[in-house]
Amino acid sequence: MPKQTFFNLEPEKRQGIIAAAVREFAEHPFEQASLTKIVESCGIAKGSMYQYFEDKLDLYLYIVDLAYEQKKAYVGRAFSLEGDIFAVLSEYYRLSYQFALDHPLLHQVANKFWDSRSEALRAELEKGRLSRSRDFARVLAEAMAAGKVNPQLDPEAVFFVYHAVGKELIDHFHQGCNDEFLQQVLDVLKYGLQARD
């Protein structure tokens, strides 16, 4: 967590620091991101950074959190379509894509976070995965109870699959991804590979 000093800053300066950090962490994973470049890019002294944050990791986690909060606010509406799980999923990924278009840097920060292999970040990673699985698990359980979802499937396996595909979709957002392709991918998940009678 940032120190109090950081929050005492004039908002303008604070935003400048945040913006510079977002730029750097959007381009490089934690280990390769350079604090030196961040302070140069926003024109403050190296030492000042240590008045605001404990260390590089502290800054990083603050920025990742920020990116995630923004994304959650953006994407959360999808879950308001209660009842129709397929509409929820479609809207969820559509909004994720919109977010990536509107906030490419925040998108990249959040995205790069997931392939951090650093031990220091493992705990945070797991926490994030769990918190996101909760909403999904709830919607899935409801849909199963309502008989809308294939009852022979293992809910955990379903989450695993959607998580994997979601990650890959998000990874490929930067290459462009029209609504049609998105819909086709979701259809694969919805109808399954095997031909129906």
The contact set with DNA (CB under 7 A) reads 4-5, 8-9, 13, 33-37, 44-48, 50-52, 55-57
Q: Tell me which stretch binds a second copy (CB under 8 A): 15-23, 60-68, 112-120, 130-138.
A: 112-120
Q: Which of 40, 82, 102, 168 binds a second copy (CB under 8 A)?
A: 168
**CA 153 – CA 84 distance, rounded (Å):** 18
Give which of DNA, a second copy, none residue 47 binds (C-beta under 5 to 8 Å, depending on kind). Answer: DNA
Long-range CB contacts for residues 20-24, cutoff 8 Å, separation at least 24: 21/59, 21/60, 21/63, 22/63, 22/66, 22/67, 22/105, 22/106, 22/109, 23/105
Read off the tokens for 47: 């030492």
Residue 83, Ramachandran bin (φ over 0: left; ψ between -120 and 50: alpha; else beta): left
Decide which of a second copy, DNA, none touches 55; Cβ closer than 5 to 8 Å per partner kind: DNA
CB of 1 to a second copy, least distance (A): 27
Binding part of the chain for a second copy, among 46-54, 72-80, 131-139, 187-195 by CB under 8 A, reads: 187-195
Among 45, 123, 130, 157, binds a second copy (CB under 8 A): 157
Four-residue CA torsion sign, 104, 44, 50, 37: positive
Any contact of residue 123 with a second copy (CB under 8 A)? no
Let me know: does 96 contact 169? Beta carbons within 8 Å. yes
Nearer to DNA, 27 or 142 (CB): 27
| Residue 146: partners with Cβ closer than 8 Å, 6 or more residues away | 83
Binding residues for a second copy (CB under 8 A): 29, 31-32, 85-86, 112, 115, 117, 147-154, 156-158, 160-161, 163-165, 167-169, 181, 184-185, 187-196
